[in-house]
Structure formats: structure tokens, C-alpha cells
Amino acid sequence: MSLYDVFILPSKSENFGLVVLEALNAGLYLILNKSLPWKDLTKNNFASFINFNTHNLENKILHIEKNKKFLLSKSLNKKKIIYLKSNYNWEDISQQYILEYKKLFF
């Protein structure tokens, strides 16, 4: 069990940081900068994307507090693990790399 409930990444230029997947794996709710590439995380209520300023961040934290029974639930955490296993497992990723290298060199 995590000591925290929410992971906040205000970065504007993070391409694909593993830290997002690690936070998701820890069962944290994600607040990410709107410019980041993981938009599919909002479909399952795993994350919110905001334009970072103190007002928007405050509103999002208040929203999470108000809805924490759902947003931080064990059932949603189980869905996060299923999502990670089906979208970011190393076997599939390694096969994707092999296919890309074959396109480049063969």
C-alpha cells in the first residue's frame, strides 16, 4: 500500500517517462500536464490532464478529494494493473522493438 494517493507530474516536455507507469502500478491517481502523451489514461479514470497553474491544480485536488471513494478504490487499482499488463508488458514491447529494427535494417 502506498503512503500517497496522488502522483503529480507538471512537466511540459516529458516524452514517455516510466515514472508514470510506476505511479500507476502503485495505485496512484495521476495529475499530468495537458501537453503529455498519455491521453488514454483518462478513458479509465486513471488520470486527469490539466494546464498547470495553482488554480487548476487546487481544483483538481479538491475534485479528487470529493471523489476519492471511486478514484482511489481497490477495484479501480485492479483495473490499472490489468491495463498495465495488457498495454505495457515487456514481451510485447520487445517484439515491437524487433519489428521496428527489422523495418530499418532488413
**Residue 90 falls within a domain, yes or no?**
yes
At residue 96 the predicted structure's pLDDT band, cuts being 50, 70 and 90, is: confident
**What's the pTM?**
0.79
* pLDDT 10s digits, 41-74: 888 899 999 999 999 999 999 999 999 899 889 9
pLDDT for residue 106? 80
pLDDT for residue 36? 83
pLDDT for residue 47? 92
Beta strands in the chain (DSSP E): 6-9, 29-33, 47-50
* pLDDT 10s digits, 5-49: 999 998 877 766 788 989 999 999 999 999 888 888 888 899 999
Angle separating helix axes 18-25 and 74-87, nearest 10 degrees: 140
**Residue 91 falls within a domain, yes or no?**
yes
In 3D space, the residue among 71, 64, 62 whose CA is nearest the CA of residue 24 turns out to be 71
| Structural domain boundaries, residue 28 | 6-105
Q: Are 15 and 37 in contact (CB under 8 A)?
A: yes
**Residue 1 falls within a domain, yes or no?**
no
State residue 104 phi and psi, 5-degree precision. Answer: -75, -40
Query: Cα dist. 95→35, 89, 91, 102, 104 in Å?
Result: 28, 10, 6, 11, 14
Number of domains in the chain: 1
Residues 23 and 41: their CA atoms lie apart, in Å, by 12
